[in-house]
Structure 1
Amino acid sequence: PIDPEHPIQRMQHFFRDSGAKVLLTQRKLKALAEEAEFKGVIVLADEEESYHADARNLALPLDSAAMANLTYTSGTTGTPKGNIVTHANILRTVKGTNYLSITEQDTILGLSNYVFDAFMFDMFGSLLNGAKLVLIPKETVLDMARLSRVIERENISILMITTALFHLLVDLNPACLSTLRKIM
């Protein structure tokens, strides 16, 4: 995953370093991908024509050791490095764990930006367990009053949150956390 708000040089590094051959994006971001010198095939998720070339599914079953995602570090200590996440890594995090069971009755709030590894817990934790996933815009995450209302309104039961953000919610509206059964 690549955040379109990242600097062009960072995107160029991701494309070169990963050797990606296909980029799934939106029409409005195609020019940005081209500016970042992506050399592979660009598939536009919001253009139906993009789905007619080859409708065959991937060969199954996939190897659990195969890469499911490549997530880059922030690069604060130098050049961002790609971290390979395998299918087994994802499954170990959200299925049959010794720290949490996620059920179809759960609602998970996705607070993390989709380019961070924490988002994989939110996304795959919900999808692979039949739970509901609530996604919110960055503006809501940064507005504690709005965030607390979403938690209450959506009856969030599982939440992965930073300690600082948790303390802000507790200071503002501790009652908004009453529906939670697991906070990480």
Structure 2
Amino acid sequence: MIEPRKDRRSRAWLLVTASVATAVVAAISAAHAADRPPRPPDHSVELTTSPPTTAEASASASAEALSSVADQVAALSDEDFAGLVTDEAQGRIASYWVNDAPQAVHDLAAATPHGVRLDVLTGASYSRSDLKAAGDRIMRDPIWRAIDLSSVAVNPDGSGLKVNLVGALPSASQRAAVADAARMPASALEFRPDEGSIVQLPAKIVAPD
């Protein structure tokens, strides 16, 4: 069937109109694209985490082994235990005792756990519990205010106490008063003055666990 001429003209008009609209939209899009500033180049750097080196992994394993052995010694300690000194570079732990250590500690040392060398050293002057008690006595005595005491630290080899000060070194009479409060000779006390970096805080005792 042949379409009426009027319908053919209407359809042709619609086709032309659609073509013109498409061209206009394309032209507008191109104009906007031309006006848009160019995107800056991407200079971002992707950060990656490198795996630990052999030396770093070995050092980490050594530290973990030392910590494990130290925990075992502390768990086996008795009233004669004075403290521990660790040497990570040498893979060594020195344990200090007033008298002989328990047999279980000697057995642990003989086993060289995780390749750690454990030395059992006897003859310490004081046990850790004795030194902590001496530090407590200093803290309860009025002398700590007179000397501007900051903290008292227990020497891990059982040799005595470190008395850290906020101000200058105490006088001879003040040192004697601290020794009397601690109930130990003055030779077992090391007084350390502030070098300008200590902020006055409530006095405390520092003892390794």
TM-score bracket, shorter-length normalisation: under 0.3
The alignment's TM-score, normalised by the length of structure 2, stands at: 0.23
The alignment's TM-score, normalised by the length of structure 1, stands at: 0.25
More helix per residue: 1 or 2? 2
